[in-house]
Structure 1
Amino acid sequence: MQVGNKSYRVEADIPEQIPVFPLSGALLLPGAQLPLNIFEPRYLSMLDDAMSSDRLIGVIQPALVDGTQRRGPVEDLCSVGCLGRITSFAETGDGRYIITLGGVCRFRIGEELNRRKPYRICRISPFLGDLEAGDQGKEVDRKALLDSFRAYLEANDLEADWSSVERASTESLVNSLSMMSPYGPAEKQALLEADNLKIRAETLIAITEIALARDSDDHGPVLQ
C-alpha cells in the first residue's frame, strides 16, 4: 500500500501502538482519503506528535450505547478502525489544523495504554491483507452499484458528475461511495468491516435499498 510518500507492505511497517481519534459517523478506508478539520486541543497535540514522528493516527468510532456496534477490548470504542497517514497538513491561523488522511489499513483494537498524553493511545493488530494488492473490484457488480446510486440520487433530487463516476475505478467508486454515504454509525461500521471489496459493495447496495424502501413507506404508496 502506497500512501503519500510512504509504502506499507509488511507487518513491520505498521506500529504496534498508535494514537486513536474517536470520531462517530466517520469512515476511512484503505487507499481512500478523508479530510478533517481539527480544533480540540487534545487532538491538536496528537497531530503535533504525529507530524514529528510517523504521521500515523487511527480513526475509530465510539461504540454505541445500545450495542448495535461491536465493542472492542476498550469498551467505549468499536473493535475495528482504520489507520491513516497524514498526507496533507495546513494551519488556519485561528488555531485549527486542516488535514487529509490517507487510509493505510484497518486494525483491530487491543488494550489502551496508560500514557501521560491528553489523547488516547492503543495497541493494535493490523489487517495485513489490506497492505496487499487486491482484486481492484473485478468481482464487484458495478452496474448494480451504479443503479443503486442513481436510484438514491433520484429519490433525493440530487445530481452527480456522471462522467467522473464512469471514469473512476471500481475500487475507488466503492470506497468513495461508502465514505460519502449519508448513513449512520452502525452502517458505516458495517462497511468498514466488510471482508473484501465485493462484500462492501453488496453491503452498500443493501443499505441503500433499505433506506429507499423506508423513505417510500414514509411517503405512502406511489400512484402509477
Structure 2
Amino acid sequence: MTRITIFPLPGVVLYPGLQLPLHIFEPRYRAMISDALARDRLIGMIQPQRPEEGAPLFSIGCLGRIGDVEALEDGRFNIILEGESRFRIVKELDVTTPFRQVEAELIEDSEDEALAPVERASFEREARRFADMQGYAVDWDQVARLDDVSLINGVSQIAPFDPAAKQALLEANGLGARCELLVQLMQFFGRHGEGDEEGVTLQ
C-alpha cells in the first residue's frame, strides 16, 4: 500500500508517461506542493464524483511526479506533473493537513502494449472525423509517428469529454479496451455534442 497526497480536480486526468501542466493558486494546494517538494515530489491526480468541497472520490487516479516548477513571488506555483502509475484508492485517511490523503495500491500497466493495425486504422479514421466536426487543426503526420500507447492515452487525457467519460477512459484496463471506448465516445460526442449549449453527458 502507498500513502498518496491527492489533488481532486473535476475534468482533469493524467496518464502514466504523459505530462500535465498545472497552475496552483489555492492556499491548501500551495501547501500540498510545498509538502510534496520537501518529501518525494509525488501527488495523485483524481477526480471527485461531484464538483463540490469534500465530495467522494472516484476510485482510480494517476500518481504524478513534479518535474518543472516555477515558484511565483505571491506563493503560487506553475508545475509540470509527469504521470507515473495509475492507482486504486483503498481508503481515504483521516488527516490534519489542509489537503486530502489516501491509502492506495498502484496499478501495473504494461508499457509496451500495441494495437492491431485494424484497431489503429479505425481509431485514426474516427479521430479525423471527430477533429473535423469539432474544427480542430491536427498535424496528422505527427500523429502517425506516435506509438500506440502515447496516441491513445494522449487523446484520452486531452479529449473534450465530460468528467464521467474521462474517468471511464482512465479506468479502462488495457490499451485495446481504452481505444475501443475512445472511438465510441468520439462517435457519441460527435453526433450529440454540436449545437447543445449545455453539453452532453454520459452520467
| Large movers: runs of 4+ above 6 Å | none
Report deviation, 1:210: 0.7
1:204 partnered with 2:182: yes
Contact preservation (8 Å) 2:10, 2:163: yes
Residue 106 (structure 2) aligns with: 126
Aligned equivalents of 1:116, 1:216: Cα separation in 2: 45
Residue 12 (structure 2) aligns with: 26
DSSP-derived class of the 1:195 partner:
coil
> How do residues 106-117 of structure 1 correspond to structure 2 at under 5 angstroms?
106-117=86-97
1:158 partnered with 2:144: no
1:139 partnered with 2:125: no
Residue 160 (structure 2) aligns with: 182
Structure 1, unaligned runs of 5 or more: 1-14, 66-73, 219-224
DSSP-derived class of the 1:30 partner:
coil
Identity %: 40
Residue 167 (structure 1) aligns with: 145
Structure 2, unaligned runs of 5 or more: 197-203
CA displacement 1:193-222 (0-9 Å, x = unmatched):
00011111111110000112224797xxxx
**Residue correspondences, number:** 193
Residue 79 (structure 1) aligns with: 59
Report deviation, 1:192: 0.3
Aligned equivalents of 1:184, 1:29: Cα separation in 2: 17
Which of 59, 68, 72 aligns to 1:88? It is 68
DSSP-derived class of the 1:146 partner:
helix
DSSP-derived class of the 2:105 partner:
strand
Question: What amino acid is the match of 2:188?
Answer: I
Query: What is the TM-score normalised by the length of structure 1?
Result: 0.80
Question: What amino acid is the match of 1:170?
Answer: D
Q: 1:138 to 1:154 in 2, by over 3 A?
A: closer
Aligned equivalents of 1:60, 1:105: Cα separation in 2: 12
Query: What is the TM-score normalised by the length of structure 2?
Result: 0.88
Report deviation, 1:115: 2.2
Q: 1:164 to 1:94 in 2, by over 3 A?
A: farther
Question: What amino acid is the match of 2:157?
Answer: M
Q: 1:162 to 1:47 in 2, by over 3 A?
A: same
1:17 partnered with 2:6: no
Which of 47, 56, 62 aligns to 2:48? It is 62
Contact preservation (8 Å) 2:115, 2:175: no
Q: 1:89 to 1:217 in 2, by over 3 A?
A: closer
User: Whose Rg is larger?
Assistant: 1
Report deviation, 1:134: 3.1
Aligned equivalents of 1:34, 1:143: Cα separation in 2: 27
Q: CA RMSD in A?
A: 2.0
CA displacement 1:156-200 (0-9 Å, x = unmatched):
222111221121111111111111100000000000000011111
1:104 partnered with 2:84: yes
